[in-house]
């Protein structure tokens, strides 16, 4: 436990709660254990009835206990304030976008600014609460999308989604994905899933009241880079979306792509992907996490939920010859157990 | 056609019967907390409940199911803080309660809670109880508990199908008044933090609407000792 010097604030104001008058006496006495019995009789005539119950005793409590109590009170208050702030932000973001005809692929600069500013204190669980609230109001879970969320007519808790041709394992057949119905119903379209998840993975994992003051993570939320739809051909748009979010390890082709696109792309408000990549690198350094591919990798997994076959063919780990007989157990190698089935080689 | 109609009406009847049980528990709860409710209200017969609160098809019409009740003098006394130098003329910390059943069958979130909060605030109710058919969203829970200087609670209808405090294994819980609490602590030379605890989220604490800092007396029957009491500090 870390004990800091007690901040110089009177305890009463820190321990404020939703029903102040009720809580004040009890919290005051927690902090300042009532020593009033040892007090000299008060001359105040008003106190004839119950002089002992006077909550504001003059006897000073153990300063060490007081310090701990204050420290905890401050933490609790910080948490409460943050939760209240996040709730008001959720209520604000439920009403976005500002125009009912807004296009989630090219949102207005004002809405983007609102979203980025509002998300600063969010954790991913707060973001999920936002999605839920939007869905309850019938809207797509992505905050910049004005459309309604999908509603599946059929009963049943799962849906099967088929990928494009030759997306199955080994490049044959179609890839099959089983998705819980309520997951599908959070959005208006697959594009919005990607947009929303692209934001979600950038949110901080620790609550805002535990972050350092110079934490940069939340301030740098970027939106999914999107090409302007080409003559309304939906399929090309979708394909491009795929490419944008695809490249986890394939970072060079991705930033090239981003470079090509930035000229024509919508966004004055969004950063080019190269920028994002840089900020992730900084971030990883700052956190002592040397493997900067981690976050990109997460983007890939979270967004597409699908292994792309050509570069994702990872060979299964091959057991070396020393493992032919099961290897060692905590350093001890069992002897003379050459089982015929344990042969790993083909 | 006849069959469809009768199965539909059976459905309606079943739903009305469930809701009637919840409704009665709500009145028992108000009575146990110390609000002014009449015995007739608590004991409302099913037929009467049906006529009063169903729609044309015999299904429940929750829009009609709104109740408010004032605290009895006994409750006010219990909720009055002890006199002190800083508070020489303490006022009871309770007031009129308002209960509402949410008509939306699913997906209850901040939207409905905001309307409820607004009504409670506007009508100056001290306490609001919001009852829904399904769970409400986490943000809605937070919003509900966030009105300054008012207390808003949430129950699901199924939480109140059965009155848990009437179960024989649940000991009787009695809230101590502020003054009784002071006397108890003096008698045993205790600080309240030295008492065993009960959480505000405990089902019985929720039923009684207990608040942090209060002390509740728990009376059990025992074969060897007859009745014995213990005390818990609400946290
Ligand atoms: Zn959408």
CA distance A183 to chain B (A): 15
Report the pLDDT value the prediction gives residue B176, as an integer from 0 to 100. Answer: 94
Confidence of residue A66 (pLDDT cuts 50, 70, 90): confident
Strands (E), A84-123: none
Candidates B138, B147, B186, B191: best to mutate against A (most CBs of A within 10 A) is B138
- Residue-wise burial string across A170-198, b where 16 or more C-beta atoms lie within 10 A, e elsewhere: eeeeebeeeeeeeebebbbbebbbbbbbb
Ligand 1 centre to CA of B116 (Å) is 29
Report the pLDDT value the prediction gives residue B222, as an integer from 0 to 100. Answer: 78
CB distance A87 to A79 below 8 Å: no
What average pLDDT does the segment A67-81 reach? 87
Ligand 1 centre to CA of B217 (Å) is 54
Domains of chain A, CATH where assigned: 65-150+187-227 (1.25.40.820), 152-183 (no CATH)
Structure tokens at A251: 């970072």
What span, in angstroms and rounded, lies between the C-alpha atoms of B229 and A119? 51
DSSP state letters, A5-25: PPPSS-HHHHT--SSHHHHHH
Instruction: Find the residue in A nearest to B234 (Cα).
Output: A26
Does A44 contact B85 at a Cβ distance shorter than 8 Å? Answer: yes
Range ranked top by mean pLDDT from A137-141, B53-57, B73-77:
B73-77
Does B93 contact A83 at a Cβ distance shorter than 8 Å? Answer: no
CA distance B97 to chain A (A): 16
Does B82 contact A94 at a Cβ distance shorter than 8 Å? Answer: no
Ligand 1 centre to CA of A219 (Å) is 24
CB distance A144 to A110 below 8 Å: no
What average pLDDT does the segment A132-145 reach? 91
A137 neighbourhood in chain B, CB within 8 Å: 109, 111
Residue whose token pair is 């929720």: B206
Which run of H or E residues covers position B230?
A: strand B226-234
Residue whose token pair is 């880079």: A225
Residue whose token pair is 């690198």: A281
Asked whether residue A90 carries a pLDDT value surpassing 90, the answer given is: yes
Does A83 contact B142 at a Cβ distance shorter than 8 Å? Answer: yes
* Extents of the domains making up chain B: 1-162, 166-234
- Select from A72, A43, A46, A108 the least CA-distant residue to A270: A108
CB distance B125 to B98 below 8 Å: yes
Give the residue, B28 or A123, on which the prediction is more confident. B28
Report the pLDDT value the prediction gives residue A329, as an integer from 0 to 100. Answer: 63
Does B212 contact A26 at a Cβ distance shorter than 8 Å? Answer: yes
What mean pLDDT, rounded, does chain A reach?
62
- Select from B128, B165, B144 the least CA-distant residue to B25: B165
Asked whether residue A160 carries a pLDDT value surpassing 90, the answer given is: no
Q: Residues 87..106 of A with a Cβ closer than 8 Å to B: which?
A: 87, 90-91, 94
What span, in angstroms and rounded, lies between the C-alpha atoms of A92 and B143? 13
Look at the alpha carbons of B27, B29, B31, B35 in this order and tell me if their dihedral is positive or negative: negative
pTM: 0.64
**B1-162 fold:** 3.40.1340
CB distance B210 to B232 below 8 Å: no
Instruction: Find the residue in B nearest to A30 (Cα).
Output: B193
Pairing of strands B215-222, B226-234: antiparallel
Asked whether residue B46 carries a pLDDT value surpassing 90, the answer given is: yes
Structure tokens at A93: 């973001």
Confidence of residue A241 (pLDDT cuts 50, 70, 90): very low
Asked whether residue B193 carries a pLDDT value surpassing 80, the answer given is: yes
Instruction: Find the residue in B nearest to A33 (Cα).
Output: B191
Least confident of A210-224, A226-240, A265-279, B84-98: A265-279
Asked whether residue A18 carries a pLDDT value surpassing 80, the answer given is: no
Does B137 contact A129 at a Cβ distance shorter than 8 Å? Answer: yes
pLDDT tens digits for B90-124?
999 999 999 999 999 888 999 999 999 999 999 99
Please determine, for the modelled complex, whether the ipTM score is greater than 0.90. no
CB atoms near residue B19 (< 10 Å): 23
Give the residue, A7 or B121, on which the prediction is more confident. B121
Total number of residues shown for chain A: 346
B137 neighbourhood in chain A, CB within 8 Å: 129, 132-133, 136
pLDDT tens digits for B5-19?
566 788 889 999 999
Q: What residues have CB less than 8 Å from B64, skipping those under 6 apart?
A: B52, B53
What average pLDDT does the segment B129-155 reach? 92
Q: Please give the biggest Cα pair distance in chain A.
A: 98
Report the pLDDT value the prediction gives residue A64, as an integer from 0 to 100. Answer: 86
Ligand 1 centre to CA of A108 (Å) is 15
pLDDT tens digits for B150-185?
999 999 999 999 999 999 888 999 999 999 999 999
Ligand 1 centre to CA of A88 (Å) is 22
The residues on B that touch A, with CB distances below 8 Å, are 81-88, 93, 107-111, 114, 137-140, 142-143, 145-151, 178-179, 182, 186, 191-193, 211-213
Asked whether residue A248 carries a pLDDT value surpassing 70, the answer given is: no
What span, in angstroms and rounded, lies between the C-alpha atoms of A272 and A269? 10
Burial of B118 (0-12, 13-18, 19+ CB in 10 A): exposed
Report the pLDDT value the prediction gives residue A175, as an integer from 0 to 100. Answer: 66
Report the pLDDT value the prediction gives residue A1, as an integer from 0 to 100. Answer: 44
Whole-number Cα distances in Å, A237 to A105, A198, A233, A267:
10, 17, 7, 16
Put simply, whether A182 touches B (Cβ < 8 Å) is no
Ligand 1 centre to CA of B135 (Å) is 25
- Select from A223, A219, A235 the least CA-distant residue to A195: A223
Report the pLDDT value the prediction gives residue A142, as an integer from 0 to 100. Answer: 92
What average pLDDT does the segment A279-308 reach? 46
CB distance A140 to A188 below 8 Å: yes
Report the pLDDT value the prediction gives residue B6, as an integer from 0 to 100. Answer: 62
Least confident of B1-5, B87-91, B182-186, B214-218: B1-5
What span, in angstroms and rounded, lies between the C-alpha atoms of A195 and A13? 43
DSSP state letters, A240-264: HHHHHHH-SS-HHHHHHHHHHHHHH
What span, in angstroms and rounded, lies between the C-alpha atoms of B158 and B233? 28
A76 neighbourhood in chain B, CB within 8 Å: none
Give the residue, A80 or A340, on which the prediction is more confident. A80
What average pLDDT does the segment A266-277 reach? 42
Give the residue, A337 or B130, on which the prediction is more confident. B130
Does A18 contact B84 at a Cβ distance shorter than 8 Å? Answer: no
pLDDT tens digits for A99-113?
888 888 888 889 998
B81 neighbourhood in chain A, CB within 8 Å: 21-22, 25
Confidence of residue A81 (pLDDT cuts 50, 70, 90): confident
Report the pLDDT value the prediction gives residue B107, as an integer from 0 to 100. Answer: 81
A36 neighbourhood in chain B, CB within 8 Å: none
Least confident of A215-219, B24-28, B163-167: A215-219
Q: What residues have CB less than 8 Å from B213, skipping those under 6 apart?
A: A22, A23, A25, A26, A27, B192, B233, B234
Phi, psi of B12 (to 5 degrees): -60, -45
Does B107 contact A135 at a Cβ distance shorter than 8 Å? Answer: yes
pLDDT tens digits for B59-73?
999 999 999 999 999
CA gyration radius, chain A: 29
Indicate the CATH number for domain B166-234: 3.90.940.20
Give the residue, A181 or A150, on which the prediction is more confident. A150
Report the pLDDT value the prediction gives residue B18, as an integer from 0 to 100. Answer: 94
CB distance B120 to B146 below 8 Å: no
Confidence of residue A335 (pLDDT cuts 50, 70, 90): low
Least confident of A92-96, A195-199, A327-331: A327-331
What mean pLDDT, rounded, does chain B reach?
91
Number of Cβ pairs < 8 A linking chain A and chain B: 99
Confidence of residue A302 (pLDDT cuts 50, 70, 90): very low
Put simply, whether A44 touches B (Cβ < 8 Å) is yes
């Amino acid at each position: 436990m870390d004990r800091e010097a007690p901040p110089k604030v009177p305890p009463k104001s820190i321990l404020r709660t939703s029903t102040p008058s009720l809580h004040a006496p009890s919290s005051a006495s927690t902090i300042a254990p009532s020593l009033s019995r040892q007090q000299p009789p008060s001359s105040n005539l008003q106190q004839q009835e119950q002089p002992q119950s006077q909550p504001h005793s003059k006897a000073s409590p153990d300063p060490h206990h007081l310090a701990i109590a204050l420290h905890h009170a401050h933490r609790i208050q910080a948490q409460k304030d943050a939760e209240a702030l996040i709730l008001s932000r959720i209520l604000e973001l439920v009403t976005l976008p500002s125009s009912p005809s807004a296009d989630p692929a090219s949102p207005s600069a004002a809405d983007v600014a609102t979203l980025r500013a509002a998300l600063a204190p969010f954790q991913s669980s707060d973001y999920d609460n936002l999605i839920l609230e939007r869905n309850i109001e019938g809207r797509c879970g992505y905050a910049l999308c004005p459309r309604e969320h999908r509603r599946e007519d059929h009963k049943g808790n799962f849906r099967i989604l088929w990928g494009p041709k030759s997306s199955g394992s080994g490049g044959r057949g179609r890839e099959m994905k089983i998705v819980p119905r309520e997951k599908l119903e959070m959005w208006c379209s697959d594009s919005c899933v990607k947009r929303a998840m692209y934001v979600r993975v950038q949110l901080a994992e620790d609550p805002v009241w535990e972050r350092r003051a110079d934490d940069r993570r939340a301030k740098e939320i970027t939106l999914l880079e999107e090409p302007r739809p080409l003559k309304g051909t939906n399929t090309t748009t979708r394909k491009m979306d795929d490419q944008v979010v695809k490249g986890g390890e394939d970072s060079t082709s991705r930033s090239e792509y981003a470079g090509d696109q930035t000229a024509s792309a919508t966004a004055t408000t969004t950063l080019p992907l190269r920028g994002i990549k840089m900020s992730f690198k900084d971030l990883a350094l700052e956190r002592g996490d040397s493997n900067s591919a981690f976050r990109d990798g997460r983007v890939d997994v979270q967004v597409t939920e699908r292994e792309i076959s050509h570069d994702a063919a990872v060979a299964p780990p091959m057991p070396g010859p020393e493992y032919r007989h099961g290897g060692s157990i905590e350093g001890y190698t069992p002897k003379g157990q050459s089982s015929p089935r344990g042969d790993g080689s083909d | 056609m006849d069959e469809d109609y009768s199965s539909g009406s059976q459905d309606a009847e079943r739903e009305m019967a469930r809701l009637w049980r919840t409704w009665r528990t709500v009145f028992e709860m108000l009575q146990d907390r110390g609000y002014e409710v009449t015995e007739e209200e608590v004991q409302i017969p099913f037929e009467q409940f049906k006529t009063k609160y169903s729609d044309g098809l015999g299904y429940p019409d929750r829009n009609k199911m709104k109740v408010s009740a004032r605290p009895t003098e006994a409750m006010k006394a219990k909720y009055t803080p002890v006199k002190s130098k800083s508070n020489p003329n303490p006022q009871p910390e309770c007031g009129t309660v308002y209960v509402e059943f949410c008509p939306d069958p699913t997906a209850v979130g901040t939207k409905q809670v905001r309307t409820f909060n607004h009504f409670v605030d506007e009508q100056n109710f001290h306490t609001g109880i919001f009852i829904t058919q399904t769970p409400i969203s986490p943000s809605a829970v937070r919003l509900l508990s966030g009105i300054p200087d008012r207390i808003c609670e949430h129950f699901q209808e199924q939480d109140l199908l059965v009155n848990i405090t009437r179960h024989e294994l649940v000991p009787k819980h009695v809230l101590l008044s502020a003054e009784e609490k002071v006397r108890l602590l003096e008698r045993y030379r205790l600080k309240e933090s030295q008492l065993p605890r009960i959480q505000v989220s405990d089902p019985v604490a929720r039923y009684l609407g207990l608040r942090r800092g209060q002390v509740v007396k728990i009376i059990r029957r025992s074969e060897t000792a007859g009745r014995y009491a213990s005390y818990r500090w609400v946290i």
